[in-house]
Each structure stands twice: as structure tokens, then as C-alpha cells.
Amino acid sequence: MNMKKLDIVRFPPKGENSFYDTVVSGVKGYFKTNAISPYANTAMWVKTFVMLLLYVVPYVLMVSGVAGNSVWLFWGFWFLMGLGMVGIGASVMHDANHGTYSPNKKVNSTIGSILEIIGGYSVTWKIQHNLLHHTYTNIAGLDDDINSVVFLRFSPRQPRYWFHRYQYWYAWFFYMIMTLYWMTAKDYLQAIRYKKHGLLNKQKISLKKALFRITLYKLFYYGYILALPLLFSDMPWYAVLTGFVIMHFTAGLFLACIFQPSHIMEESAFAEPVTKDSALYMADSWALHEVGNTTNFAPKNRFLSWFIGGLNYQIEHHLFTWVCHVHYPKIAPIVRSAATAFGLPYHEQPTFLKALLQHAKMLKKLGRKDFLPA
């Protein structure tokens, strides 16, 4: 399947008194009963400030030459910036580009543009994440989060090659270079591909304008992230480039380890559409499809949940993209209760480490010839 099918893949109606009706009613009731907003609260704004500082402060110290002659301290600043990228990506720009900071679109747009500051491009990110991933989760050819390089097989519906039997070993390297690839080539390639499939038009931007803006943002990014440290940090060029790689390896690996155990797991359904009346339909409604292809992890780890923007509550995130992540721990019992009442799975791993191990096992199974989806 490919994106040409995007406009003809349909989900069946949710039906009256459905799981989705029930869970939405319960979550809206929670906010109404407690007289709170589903948008960002004070804690969210404080976290935003902290995450920005985690990226900005090490950068200022690095450029100002505080490290002196200590290359290890210098690289330590880059490592902290990598963690800052994770915090900004998972806890700040992610919510903003989902529109959950405020009912005011300008507020969300302004905060979401922080993505451009750390090297990305909001338009292609919204297409990949908000449209393709959140609508067609784990559907091969449509979910761009699993349409990766040929060396990685993230779905039993994708072609298998002999080298995939080793991917559970080498996938972690590709995870490490994820943001480095993103900040160099990915946005350009996506813009061209999304234009071909009419997805840029839905964002009301031409390919020419998108490529111009991407180039402008990249020049700004590489100007401050590499040029200024080379000029003012008093460190040799190879130390600067090594630090830059350390930052991206840190960010890429951490971000991949947050998102991959949420979907690339053995319990995920990986359903395919079926042909009916010359069109393609999914067997389950959208909400049921999301629950069947999503896994939570480490629900009791409060620090992890805080740092990664509640993305360990991935089921709640997929069902309620209009709710700021600071509310996920409170609405999770509502979602779990509704899933139980309707006899639906509620996939959850007790710890982050267990989730990563199960993801690694799934990568290994996806490399086998005889592995088929449930």
C-alpha cells in the first residue's frame, strides 16, 4: 500500500453508544466535574520554561567558553542539549503542534515553531505525525512513522529481507541518527513526497514556499548550532563536530526509545484494510484501531512521565490529542475502565525497561520469515 490510497481508506462508523462515545463522555465529564481546562496549566508552563533552559543554558555556556580546555565538560554541555532536545520535542513542541496549550491557535503556533529552532519544520511534522500517524497508526504504507529505511522492518506487512534478522541489534544505531537525518535531509524529502500526494496543499503551502522555508530554517539552525561554537567556544573543529554528533545521538536514541515501544510491539494488531465495493475499509472503527495498536508503559514512573511529556500514556494521547499531556495520568483510569467494559485490550508495560525489552523482542520477531501478525 502507498499514500495514493490515502483518500480511499475508510474507517467504519463508531456506532451509537460506542466505546469512543463512552470514553469521550467520561473524559469530558472529568474536566467538567473538576472545573479544569483540558489545555495547559501552570505546571505545564513551568515545565516548558525548564525544558527550554535545559537546551539553552548548556549552549550559552558552551559558546561562551566556560568549558575552558576541558573537552569532556564541553561534550557534557552537548549531551545536556541532547536531553533538552528530547524535552522540547516530547514535552513542548509536541503538545503545541497538537494545539493543546491554549484554545488560541496563535499561542499554539508560536510555541510549536520552537521545532524550527531545534532544526525541524512544523508543516511536514504535522503531516507525518498529526495526519498520517494518528489517523493510520501501524498501517503499512500510510503511517509514516513505520515507513523507515529499508534496513528497518517495523510491520509484518512490510517486505522482509535477509538482513532484518539482525535488526534487533543494529536498529539502535539507526535510532541514534534519527534526528541527525531529520535535521539534514528528511524535511526536504518529505516536502517533495507530500506535495506529490497532495498533502502539502491541505496545509495551504506550495512546494516552492515549503522548500524555501526549510532552507531558511536549516541555515539558521546550522548557523547557531555549528558556526558559533566553531568561532567562539575555543575548541578545535573536531571537538565541536563530535559534540554535535553526541547531541543528536542522545536525542535520537531517547526519542526513538520513547515512541517505538508505544506501537512496535507484539500485541499490536497491524491491521490492513480490506477491499469492499472498490474501496478500502478498516475492520474496526478508528478508536478501536488506535487502542489495538498502542501500548502504554511505566505508568507509575512520575519523573519519566514528566520528562517525556506523558507519552508513556500513549493510548490516552492517541484518543485525546486535544488534551494537554499533564492530564493523562488522571484520565487514564477512565480510558482503562471503558476499555474493560467493552472487552477491549488495554496494552501496558509496567516499566520503561520492560517496554524496551519487549520492543527489542518484536524487532527480532519481525526479522523472522515465519512471523505473522496476530
Q: Name the percent of the chain lying above pLDDT 90.
A: 86
Residue 372 has pLDDT above 80, yes or no: no
pTM above 0.75, yes or no: yes
Mean pLDDT of 105-128: 96
Q: Give the integer Cα–Cα distance in Å for 87 and 345.
A: 30
Residue 164 has pLDDT above 60, yes or no: yes
Q: How far is CA 373 from CA 268, 326, 363, in A?
A: 8, 34, 13
Q: How far is CA 26 from CA 20, 85, 189, 346, 373, in A?
A: 10, 34, 41, 16, 32
Q: Binning pLDDT at 50, 70 and 90, where does residue 78 land?
A: very high
With a CB cutoff of 8 Å and minimum separation 6, the contacts of 20 are 14, 285, 286, 287, 319
| C-alpha dihedral sign at 232, 233, 239, 245 | negative
Q: Confirm if 276 and 371 have CB atoms less than 8 A apart.
A: no
Residue 16 has pLDDT above 70, yes or no: no
- What is the predicted pLDDT for the residue at 9? 84
Question: Angle of helix 71-88 relative to helix 237-259, nearest 10 degrees?
Answer: 30
Write down the residue that cell numbers 484494510 correspond to.
Answer: 273
Mean pLDDT of 238-253: 97
Residue 203 burial (10 A CB sphere; 0-12, 13-18, 19+) = middle
What are the cell numbers at 299?
505508568
Average pLDDT, the chain: 94
Q: Binning pLDDT at 50, 70 and 90, where does residue 101 land?
A: very high
- Other residues' Cβ atoms within 10 Å of the Cβ of residue 120: 25
Bridge partners, 280 (sequence order): 9, 275
Residue 29 burial (10 A CB sphere; 0-12, 13-18, 19+) = exposed
Mean pLDDT of 332-337: 98
Q: Give the integer Cα–Cα distance in Å for 216 and 195.
A: 19
- What is the predicted pLDDT for the residue at 28? 97
